[in-house]
Amino acid sequence: MKYLSNVTTLKLDDKKCIGCGMCEIVCPHAVFSIEGGKALISDRDACMECGACSKNCPVCALSVNSGVGCATGIINGVLGGGECCGSKDCSCS
Amino acid sequence: MNIFQQQHWIVGSVMSQGEEIPRVSTSLTSEDIMGAIKVRLSISRMDYAVEPGLYVVGSPDATSPVLVSANYKLSFDNLRKELEGLDVWILVLDTKGVNVWCSAGKGTFGTEEIVGRVRSVGLDKMVSHRKLILPQLSAPGVAAHKVKGDCGFQVIYGPVRASDIKNFLKAGMKTTPEMRRVRFDFLDRLVVVPVEIIQWAPHVFLLGLVMVALSGIVGTGYDVNLLCTRGFMALIIVLSTFLAGSILCPALLPWLPGKAFSIKGMWVGFIIWGILVLSECGSTLGIHFPLEAWAWLPIILAIISFIAMNFTGCSTFTSQSGVKREMRYAIPVQILLLVIGIALWIKAGLL
Ligand code: SF4
Ligand code: SF4
């Protein structure tokens, strides 16, 4: 299953990347591969903007507007009730 | 220690560095399972938390691995039931009783909490190595290099699923690409259905009541008798559409055409409408007129599309940018469908 194409805010700064491989390890959707000592975004549309890669990149080569991809949360946010539905297991536990 | 010993899943303790560390059982009792069912059905959602701190499974020594867990009891139970026969430490963080994924997203399963908890339990004295095994799904909240810098412990991201932990440890703390990927299996999808139903039931019920109130509108005035017949039937259709959609959308998700959830939902809407019209046209539900049958199509599509769209939060692959883009198109369409449907339905009542 894939969600909408060409929406993710994920960006990789090639020049900063030191090819440590951390992003490949933490990404739950196998968005990255490491080729020639650099990270490569090989499956961009699989990105769910969880922010794991940018948080764990030691040289800040990655950026992404992370947030929950949850319509209920966004509706609650717009209505002023906080950005989450408050459920303790809105996704996998 | 007293509060620990009241828990049925604590089976004794071990002494380490002059401290008594509770030992946890690796089998779930009927109490654990009933608790899990209650939480899943939203009967008791609050306070399903484990006291943060250090625990053991088996009899670990200074070289045994340290597994880090959220303190949501379902996450914790999920972990300990996979550890039978192992000797490991479990460091339970204070994630406010929220699961790994959601607490990492909020940052409570985060760098600061890990560093603070490692210090407060004196982990550096309990073990001789400097490694912490974290669930992979906590990575959005944790900066591995910062944990290392702040407390000297190296973060190793383990598998997404606790059931892979034994293989991960056997392989020398190495994950396979398969272990690192989230899946969104049939059961993963169905388990969130009750939460979704409870979340939206009041709103859908309100919509049903509005239709009951509107059902009395006749050509020249208002017929109260219709509220109990046509109005009541409308309420039943709205509620059963909602229930069927809440189960069918997640169940059929991978097979429904389209990428946007609101579009996937439309297909379920067509199916439900088809069943409704075929089975009930001209019979008990009182759909005597073709117009009434047509009126239900946009109403049902609007309800199911909305319910399906809200399922994005339960899924493990929708991005926030994507959901926002989907909502920008879907919500106006859903509102329009609902308004058209109700207008047609009122008109059908005038005939
Ligand atoms: S984590 Fe950062 S530095 Fe390491 S490979 Fe990925 S982008 Fe490059
Ligand atoms: S934001 Fe999450 S899903 Fe997207 S590339 Fe980074 S780790 Fe992967």
Cα dist from B87 to B66, B74, B165, B229, B324, whole Å = 10, 21, 13, 66, 46
Chain B nearest C-alpha distance from A21 (Å): 12
CA atoms of B227 and B233, how far apart (whole Å): 9
pLDDT band at B10 (very low <50, low <70, confident <90, very high): confident
Q: Are B22 and B5 in contact (CB under 8 A)?
A: yes
Q: Report the pLDDT value the prediction gives residue B335, as an integer from 0 to 100.
A: 96
**Is B323 among the domain residues?**
yes
Same domain, B42 and B18: yes
Nearest to A92 among B140, B145, B188 (CB): B188
CA atoms of A66 and B104, how far apart (whole Å): 12
pLDDT tens digits, one per residue of B129-160:
999 999 999 999 999 999 999 999 999 999 99
pLDDT tens digits, one per residue of B49-91:
889 999 999 999 999 999 999 998 888 998 999 999 999 999 9
pLDDT tens digits, one per residue of A16-59:
999 999 999 999 999 999 998 999 999 999 998 889 999 999 99
In 10 A of CB B322, how many CB atoms? Answer: 25
C-alpha distance across the termini of chain B, in Å: 73
**Is B4 among the domain residues?**
no
Helices B320-350, A71-78: crossing angle, 10 deg rounding: 80
pLDDT band at B248 (very low <50, low <70, confident <90, very high): very high
Mean pLDDT across chain B, nearest whole number?
87
Ligand 2 in contact with A48 (CB < 6 A)? yes
Same domain, B68 and B173: yes
Burial B231-248, CB ≥16 within 10 A → b, else e: bbbbbebbbebbebbbbb
Domain C-terminal end among B183, B202, B235: B183
- CB contact under 8 Å between A89 and B140, yes or no, is no
Give the least confident one: B3-12, B69-78, B199-208: B3-12
Q: Report the pLDDT value the prediction gives residue B43, as an integer from 0 to 100.
A: 61
Nearest CA in chain B to A47: B319
CA atoms of B222 and B115, how far apart (whole Å): 68
Chain A nearest C-alpha distance from B105 (Å): 7
Boundaries of domain holding A36: 11-80
Same domain, B138 and B167: yes
ipTM of the complex: 0.81
Same domain, B121 and B201: no
**Is B256 among the domain residues?**
yes
Q: Report the pLDDT value the prediction gives residue B63, as an integer from 0 to 100.
A: 95
Residues of B in contact with A52 (CB under 8 A): 139-140
Mean pLDDT value of segment B266-280: 87
**Is A42 among the domain residues?**
yes
More confident call, B270 vs B7: B270
Same domain, B139 and B268: no
Percent of chain A whose predicted confidence (pLDDT) is above 90: 49
Return the H-helix or E-strand segment holding B278: helix B261-280
Same domain, B262 and B166: no
The H helix count followed by the E strand count for chain A is: 3, 4
Task: State which of A53, A57, A62 you would mutate to test the pocket of ligand 2, scoring each by most atoms of that ligand within 8 A of its C-beta.
Answer: A53
- CB contact under 8 Å between A68 and B313, yes or no, is yes
C-alpha B194 chain-centroid distance: 9
Q: Are B298 and B340 in contact (CB under 8 A)?
A: yes
Find the angle CA(B84)-CA(A29)-CA(B91) to the nearest 5 degrees.
35
Q: What is the CATH number of the domain that holds A30?
A: 3.30.70.20
Contact B69/A at CB under 8 A: no
**Is B290 among the domain residues?**
yes
Rounded to two decimals, the pTM is 0.82
Same domain, B273 and B292: yes
How many residues comprise chain A? 93
Mean pLDDT value of segment A68-92: 59
Same domain, B246 and B148: no
Mean pLDDT value of segment B236-247: 93
Q: Which of B95, B88, B96 is nearest to B114 (CA)?
A: B95
A 33-72 residues inside an 8 A Cβ radius of B: 46-52, 55-56, 58, 65-72
Ligand 2 in contact with A26 (CB < 6 A)? yes
Chain B nearest C-alpha distance from A85 (Å): 9
What tokens does B292 get? 């009434």
Ligand 2 centre to CA of B225 (Å) is 58
pLDDT > 50? residue B216: yes
pLDDT > 60? residue B223: yes
Boundaries of domain holding B241: 187-350
Q: Are B4 and B10 in contact (CB under 8 A)?
A: yes
pLDDT > 60? residue B4: no
Same domain, B22 and B147: yes
Residues of A in contact with B110 (CB under 8 A): none
pLDDT band at A73 (very low <50, low <70, confident <90, very high): confident
Contact B259/A at CB under 8 A: yes
Q: Report the pLDDT value the prediction gives residue A91, as an integer from 0 to 100.
A: 40
Cα dist from A91 to A15, A81, B124, B182, whole Å = 35, 19, 33, 11
Q: Are B194 and B205 in contact (CB under 8 A)?
A: no
**Is A90 among the domain residues?**
no
pLDDT > 50? residue A93: no
- CB contact under 8 Å between A91 and B102, yes or no, is yes
**Is A74 among the domain residues?**
yes
Same domain, B218 and B147: no
Q: Report the pLDDT value the prediction gives residue B289, as an integer from 0 to 100.
A: 57
**Is B1 among the domain residues?**
no
Domain C-terminal end among B163, B183, B203: B183
**Is B112 among the domain residues?**
yes
**Is B5 among the domain residues?**
no
Q: Report the pLDDT value the prediction gives residue B38, as an integer from 0 to 100.
A: 76
Ligand 1 centre to CA of B165 (Å) is 25
**Is B178 among the domain residues?**
yes
Give the least confident one: B8-22, B38-52, B86-100: B38-52
Q: Are B246 and B307 in contact (CB under 8 A)?
A: yes
pLDDT tens digits, one per residue of B13-33:
888 888 899 999 888 888 888
Number of domains making up chain B? 2
Q: Report the pLDDT value the prediction gives residue A92, as an integer from 0 to 100.
A: 32
Percent of chain B whose predicted confidence (pLDDT) is above 70: 94
- CB contact under 8 Å between B180 and A3, yes or no, is no
Q: What is the CATH number of the domain that holds B105?
A: 3.40.50.11600
B 174-203 residues inside an 8 A Cβ radius of A: 175, 177, 180-182, 184, 188, 192, 195, 199
**Is A58 among the domain residues?**
yes
- CB contact under 8 Å between A84 and B139, yes or no, is no
Same domain, B198 and B263: yes
pLDDT > 80? residue B240: yes
Domain C-terminal end among B145, B161, B183: B183
Is residue B6 classed exposed, middle or buried when 0-12, 13-18 and 19+ CB atoms within 10 A define those classes?
exposed
pLDDT tens digits, one per residue of A76-87:
766 665 555 444
Number of domains making up chain A? 1
Q: Report the pLDDT value the prediction gives residue B196, as an integer from 0 to 100.
A: 81
pLDDT > 80? residue B315: no
Residues of A in contact with B328 (CB under 8 A): none
Q: Report the pLDDT value the prediction gives residue A88, as an integer from 0 to 100.
A: 43
Residues of B in contact with A70 (CB under 8 A): 310, 312-314, 318, 320, 323
Q: Report the pLDDT value the prediction gives residue B42, as an integer from 0 to 100.
A: 62
Same domain, B242 and B172: no
- CB contact under 8 Å between B317 and A29, yes or no, is yes
Q: Report the pLDDT value the prediction gives residue B1, as an integer from 0 to 100.
A: 45
Dihedral in degrees, nearest 10, Cα atoms B234, B240, B241, B242? 110
**Is A63 among the domain residues?**
yes
Percent of chain B whose predicted confidence (pLDDT) is above 90: 54
Q: Show the beta-strand stretches assigned E in chain A.
A: 11-12, 32-35, 38-41, 62-63
Q: Report the pLDDT value the prediction gives residue B141, as an integer from 0 to 100.
A: 93
CA atoms of B212 and B233, how far apart (whole Å): 8
